[in-house]
Amino acid sequence: MKVLITGGGTGGHIYPAIAIANKIKDEIKTAQILFVGTEKGLESELVPKEGYNLETIKVSGFKRKISLDTAKSLVDLACGLKDSIKVILKFKPDIVIGTGGYVCGPVVFIASMLNIKTVIHEQNVIPGVTNKILGKFVNRVLVSFHESKKYFDNDKKVYVTGNPIRKEFIKISQESSKEQIGAKEDEFVVLSFGGSRGAEKINKIMAKVIEKTYDNKKIKIIHVTGSRHHKEVMDFFKEKGIGNNIKDSVKEYIYDMAKYMGAADLAICRAGAITLAEITAMGIPSILIPSPYVTNNHQEHNARVLEDKGAAILVKEAEFDEDIILENIYKLSKEKDKLNTMAKKSREIAKPNATDIIYSNILEVLKS
């Protein structure tokens, strides 16, 4: 079986694609899997690291407002369609799977025009523009939330599966994870991060939080800056004279995120769909700061699902400061009953078998 998987730009589109690829490879050892992405997207780094081949095409996203960039995007789209035809005709896939991001557009569209089986997966409550358009052409649409079905014209081909996560996020011991990251069993471990690219405001606020808690023996904060802001954050600590004290607390990027999530008593993060799938699979209580810079404010809609169930505390970026975070860290580290209730609610939301359900849907489409 030949499977072409396309999706990229950010980790939110790439990690589901990798989870699906790994599941297919686990079930069908002889399966040939090819990824299609862009040179600039995070996929160019993550996909080869997972051992998969990646073909790149030239394509870029469209701005919301008409500008000179629109003309460039149209030219890139034409190139992307042409490149997609070449890749598909050369690889001859039995099925093409899209996990979102503008790179999916030309690849999945061309596959559908060539009568190749097609499936797309939408991670967020509110679908992205690319997936909304592709929903008209593909054989099946897989969504992560029941609330998403109404955004697609033909809901008869829309199936709720949940978000696929890598299997290392499903079963993991907190005691073992704490030991692996150098945390004591009785330390309250806080893991904070701003998504695959990092987030400037989260970095600034968490730097101030770490400055005030780094010498607290009962609380251990691990913060992931992302590559864009790492130097800026480290310079802040050097200016404060504590650069050497926080070396183990601040990471530029974490590849084995499951180990660190497994150790966490509390997560402070954005509300990207895959992040939420991973923290709920592990039953981690969270403070969510939805990005206000995403299309349709979809992260806030994602976060509301967890907040409404009692699994998370939602803090809008405009209201986000170190006082709110410190107050909640101190409060939750002492109120174990509340923390345990949030953890329980988090697990109840999880769909740890989402990858299996997605795999079953792929097989059904192949047989149809």
Residue ranges of the annotated binding site are 10-12, 124, 166, 196, 254, 299
Q: Quick count: other Cβ atoms within 10 Å of Cβ 173? A: 11
Half-sphere exposure of 261 (CA within 13 A, CB side): 26
Give the annotated binding-site residues for UDP-N-acetyl-alpha-D-glucosamine. Answer: 10-12, 124, 166, 196, 254, 299
Amino acid at 16: P
Q: Using CA atoms, how far apart are residues 285 and 18, in angstroms rounded to an integer?
A: 25
Closest by CA to 227, choosing from 5, 4, 11, 6, is: 11
Angle subtended at Cα 75 by Cα 71 and Cα 81, rounded to the nearest 5 degrees:
140
Closest by CA to 102, choosing from 8, 195, 197, 15, is: 8
Half-sphere exposure of 209 (CA within 13 A, CB side): 28
Determine phi and psi for 115, rounding to 5 degrees: 60, 30
Q: Using CA atoms, how far apart are residues 267 and 250, in angstroms rounded to an integer?
A: 15
Angle subtended at Cα 173 by Cα 169 and Cα 179, rounded to the nearest 5 degrees:
115
Q: Is 147 exposed, middle or buried (0-12, 13-18, 19+ CB in 10 A)?
A: middle
- Decide if 273 contacts 12 (C-beta within 8 A): yes
Residue 180 tokens, joined: 């692996």
Residue 1 in 3-state DSSP? Answer: coil
DSSP label at residue 191: E
76-93 core/surface letters (b: 16 or more CB in 10 A; e: else): bbeebbebbbebbeebeb
